[in-house]
Structure 1
């Protein structure tokens, strides 16, 4: 707080010190444990009068508090990413796109039924295409009900049965899919893409598909992720949708700090 704002409070504290009758310092008076009831009441009234005359101080204090909390959250998130780095960046099964040797890795926790994930999808694709030096990892994180789960099961089963290229095609199709992902719709989707629908659908309930989804959910819990989309940019956790220009700025910041 600037000196001009602090001065009236210091004067109030000194006045209360005089009321105590033993010459306590302003520092002592500010300690509630050393105040009498009358001193606390007088001090409270002085503070109230000051704040009523200078209400902008409240907003300044709120702004400082919010910034401190934001800084603490950033530090906490960086620690979470560091402590779970292997599971985030090298789990051995999540689809990897973009430039596999890129200098920045972007990880997206997504749900096919999430409106903001759908909104982000073309912007993430544009980020990867226009940059050329980003490694992208997709984490299947179905949290919005049965349709979400079925969609992720189908996508993961496609990756297991037909490989990464087929997974990407199915991923993009599911992200744009209107209506419910029932058996008929998924079978027709597989046929349209030239995939073995029967083999994929038989794999959907396999132990491997179940394991991958469970491990991603456990990782999300460790990272305190409870919504989609959530991104990891380098060592930063970005919770929620971020437009293309914001993502580009984050990537530039990561490179500058790297």
Structure 2
């Protein structure tokens, strides 16, 4: 989470009142005390001004953060959308690409999972990319290593089945549970388990970690809708609104 703006009382007072011809640095102590007393009296009589000023300052901060995220997306566009190793689903020819950084142990990722699936299915024109971003411990890392190994050994369709299964799994992720999942899906389990320790799997996960660092992504889920970044869970109706906005701007 980014720090919340906490403006000083003086900053709020100046933001909430008309510009005055005051030289605050050269006030005498008597003038400064009188000014502070006047500001305090005004704010106590008009507390709604504080909320208005805070709202303006927070809006400006949010706009600055959004613009910074747009710039981060632009700077990392190739790594986001064409890295050559991330799974690509949905409509490969879709007019909008959504990228999701996810962790299989993340509660909000699990909550978003069916809603993302519904968005992609109902829209029909979205290209969807998953970035394996295991940040919640050893089980998360184990799950992502397994998923990437399946992608490398068995291809896109098998990866999708495994990714969905891991996202809905509530039990601990262990080598035994992954072996059972692989066998259940009819995969070449020996090949998949061996691939989990490969340089290719390690490099793919490291590339995503470095990309996340460059983009200042520290939590999951994090979404990129073309040029717009959404940090955290977004319900289905909000995602649909963002997709409509992106299309209208395009």
Normalised to the residue count of structure 2, the TM-score between the two structures is 0.91
Q: Residue 100 of structure 2 aligns to a residue in which SS?
A: strand
Question: Are residues 1:226 and 2:247 paired?
Answer: no
- Measure how far apart 1:9 and its partner are: 5.7
The answer for the alignment partner of 1:104 in structure 2 is: 96
Residue 61 of structure 1: aligned partner: 53
Unaligned runs of 5+ in 1: 14-25
Q: Distance in 2 between matches of 1:253 and 1:78?
A: 15
Cα displacement (A) at 1:34: 3.0
The alpha-carbon deviation at position 234 of structure 1 amounts to: 1.1
Tell me the equivalent position of 2:121. 129
Q: Contact 1:120–1:243 at 8 Å: present in 2 too?
A: yes
- Identify if the C-alpha distance between structure 1 residues 235 and 9 changes in structure 2 by more than 3 Å, giving closer, same or farther: closer
Q: Distance in 2 between matches of 1:113 and 1:89?
A: 24
Aligned to 2:27: 35
Which string of whole-angstrom CA distances, capped at 9 and with x for unpartnered residues, describes residues 48-77 of structure 1? Answer: 111111010000001111101100010000
- Identify the residue that residue 212 of structure 1 maps to in structure 2: 204
**Structure 1 residues 9 and 154, CA, compared in 2 at 3 Å: closer, same or farther?**
closer
Match of 1:46 among 38, 51, 66: 38
1:181 deviates by 2.0
Corresponding residue of 1:21 = none
Unpaired runs of at least 5, structure 2: 1-12
CA positional deviation for 1:102: 0.8
SS of equivalent to 1:178: coil
Matched-pair contact (CA < 8 Å) for 1:9–1:46? no
Partner SS state of residue 179, structure 1: coil
Partner-residue secondary structure (3-state), 1:195: coil
| Correspondence 1:1-258 to 2 at 5 A | 26-27=20-21, 29=22, 31-258=23-250
Query: Quick check: 237-246 or 35-44, which moved more?
Result: 35-44
CA deviation after TM superposition for structure 1 residue 184, in Å: 1.9
Contact kept in structure 2, 1:98 and 1:135, CA below 8 Å: yes
Cα distance in 2 for partners of 1:158, 1:181 equals: 15
Residue 108 of structure 1, CA deviation: 0.2
Answer with 1 or 2: which has the greater Rg: 1
CA distance in 2 between partners of 1:129 and 1:177 (Å): 22
Residues 9, 168 of structure 1: CA spacing in aligned structure 2 closer, same or farther, 3 A cutoff? closer
RMSD: 1.7
- Give the structure-1-normalised TM-score: 0.89
How big is the shift at 1:84?
0.6
**Alpha carbons of structure 1 residues 9 and 230: separation in structure 2 relative to 1, 3 Å:** closer
Q: Could you tell me how far apart the structure 2 residues matched to 1:9 and 1:154 are?
A: 59
Distance 1:112 1:233 in 2: 21
In 1, distance between residues paired with 2:175 and 2:17?
70
Structure 1 segments (4+ residues) deviating >4 Å: none
Give the secondary structure class of the aligned counterpart of 2:187: coil
